[in-house]
Amino acid sequence: MLGRGGFLSTPSESIIAQVIVDGILTGSLYALIAIGLAMIWGIVEVINFAHGEFLMISAFLAYFLYIYLGVDPLLSIPLAFATSFMLGYAVQKGIINRILEAPFLSQIFATFALVLIMRNGFFVALGPDIRSVHVWYSEAVLDLFGIRVSVVKLLAAFIFIAATIFLHMFLTRTYLGTAMRAISQDRVAAALMGVDVKKVYAIAFGIGAGLAGIGGALLVSFYYIFPEMGIPFTLIAFISVVLGGFGNILGPAIGAIIIGLTQSIGAIAIDPSMKDILVYLLFLAILLIKPTGIISR
């Protein structure tokens, strides 16, 4: 039996399994968002504080498509990716590429300014109201060997796996992907070999933003939609990247799943209000013990 503050008795195996599965599924959604941020940092080497705003914009896009056209949020995923990709491409091409040689703090301030512009723009245009969407699968669960699995989170996990496989194949089997990996290793050498560095940067930024956009469309069916919704997901993505390690995709994905597990275990074993504090403590511990992350380049 569960008490308000945690376990009143030793947790059963079924409860432990439930907590682990829920943590992994939640972490998979975080991972989808985190690998986009990791891609931007690993290739462009810019800390994108506006990452969550691409998620927010795509969430609103999926919301309005559902409200006015009846388009299922899941069916809006391709459009959410395309929209976020184009926005990310434009941001990199029009803003970030112009300040690549500027001091590091200038780059940080530029992406932070984007956060304020996009968030406040939506706040002024749409107001502070919290919106939500309820579709048939919003609260649907599957019973798998006694474990209740959220249909939406299971779909998010499958999409994360598919996106990771596609991204790996793209980076390892295409000319553009090879160019991205070359730039991440040595930008000057890649430019000397004829790679259009700034164009590749824009595409990489677009893909990273697009992955956040997919996360936004997925969130619509079970999360609240409001102009400031990107803040916690940006923070989780950053922590995931730091936990997992810079310069690769696998590390941030592992970091995100660790965060999901930490939140799930903390919510049931201690108190739901403590789950985020546990994540921050874990983040601090990793910074002190292994600041390069679990898997560093």
Would you say residue 190 lies in a domain?
A: yes
pLDDT band at 5 (very low <50, low <70, confident <90, very high): very low
Mean pLDDT of 171-196: 91
Q: How far apart are CA 69 and CA 53, in angstroms?
A: 23
CATH code, domain with 85: 1.10.3470
Give the residue from 255, 233, 230 showing the smallest Cα distance to 245: 255
Ramachandran angles phi, psi of 248, nearest 5°? -155, 170
Give the residue from 117, 118, 95 showing the smallest Cα distance to 46: 95
Would you say residue 219 lies in a domain?
A: yes
Would you say residue 194 lies in a domain?
A: yes
pTM: 0.90
What integer pLDDT is reported at residue 11 of this predicted model? 58
Would you say residue 3 lies in a domain?
A: no
Q: Output 256 or 7, whichever has higher pLDDT.
A: 256
Residue 37 lies in domain: 28-289
Would you say residue 277 lies in a domain?
A: yes
Name every residue whose Cβ is closer than 8 Å to that of residue 244 and which is 6 or more positions away in sequence: 34, 38, 250, 251, 252, 253, 254, 255, 256, 293, 294, 295
User: For the chain, how many structural domains are there in total?
Assistant: 1
The pLDDT > 90 percentage for the chain reads 59
Would you say residue 52 lies in a domain?
A: yes
Give the residue from 44, 54, 45 showing the smallest Cα distance to 200: 44
Q: How many CB atoms lie within 10 A of CB 36?
A: 31
